[in-house]
């Protein structure tokens, strides 16, 4: 998997190619060569490629894999400071904590809008289907982390122990969807 450092190196090489192409295009216009307009397109394309590689060099493309974390579904995310995810109703305390850590790592983005706060809050819930046609949303916890620092030392996980314990004893029917 390419790393941001590799994309930065690719960006530097394509920037040099774009510069050389730009110089060649300038010479083509000065000497009125017939291929001058084609090199305008080549230089422009190299500019787009260089910009794309520069953007990819800022952020990693990989997601964190925390041992013990379960799959979660993104329920609500408008690139702001509030996110809601849902998990399976069969989740344990250790799995919930690992899943919250993974979500906090994977959903971090410096481009999120804080709108007056510097904390990203990720709430986790599950849906309990007790009877056919009746579902109940059960909040299980949340994690708060910095919106600006990737490796946040003040990450705060809050788990609703009562709801998690009640979930372990609840009988539920699997969802039909």
Contact criterion met (CB below 8 Å) for 158 and 141 = yes
Question: How far is Cα 96 from Cα 87, in angstroms, rounded to an integer?
Answer: 8
93-106 vs 161-169: helix crossing angle, rounded to 10: 120
Region 13-24 average pLDDT = 97
Nearest to 128 by CA among 110, 113, 145, 140: 140
pLDDT reading at 177 higher than 70: no
pTM of the entire predicted model: 0.66
pLDDT reading at 175 higher than 70: no
Determine the 3-state secondary structure of 77 from DSSP.
Answer: strand
């Amino acid at each position: 998997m390419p790393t941001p450092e590799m994309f930065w190196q690719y960006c530097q090489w394509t920037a040099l190619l774009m510069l050389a192409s730009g110089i060649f295009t300038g010479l083509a216009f000065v000497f009125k060569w017939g291929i001058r307009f084609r090199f305008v397109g080549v230089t422009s394309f190299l500019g787009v490629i260089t910009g794309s590689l520069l953007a990819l060099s800022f952020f990693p493309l990989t997601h964190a894999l925390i041992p013990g974390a379960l799959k979660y579904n993104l329920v609500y995310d408008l690139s702001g400071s509030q996110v809601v995810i849902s998990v399976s109703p069969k989740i344990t305390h250790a799995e919930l904590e690992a899943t919250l850590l993974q979500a906090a790592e994977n959903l971090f983005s410096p481009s999120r809008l804080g709108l007056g706060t510097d904390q990203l809050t990720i709430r986790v819930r599950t849906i309990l289907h007790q009877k056919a046609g009746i579902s109940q949303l059960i909040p299980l916890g949340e994690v708060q982390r910095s919106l600006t620092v990737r490796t946040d030392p003040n990450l705060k996980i809050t788990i609703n122990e009562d709801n998690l314990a009640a979930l372990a004893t609840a009988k539920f029917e699997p969802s039909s969807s």
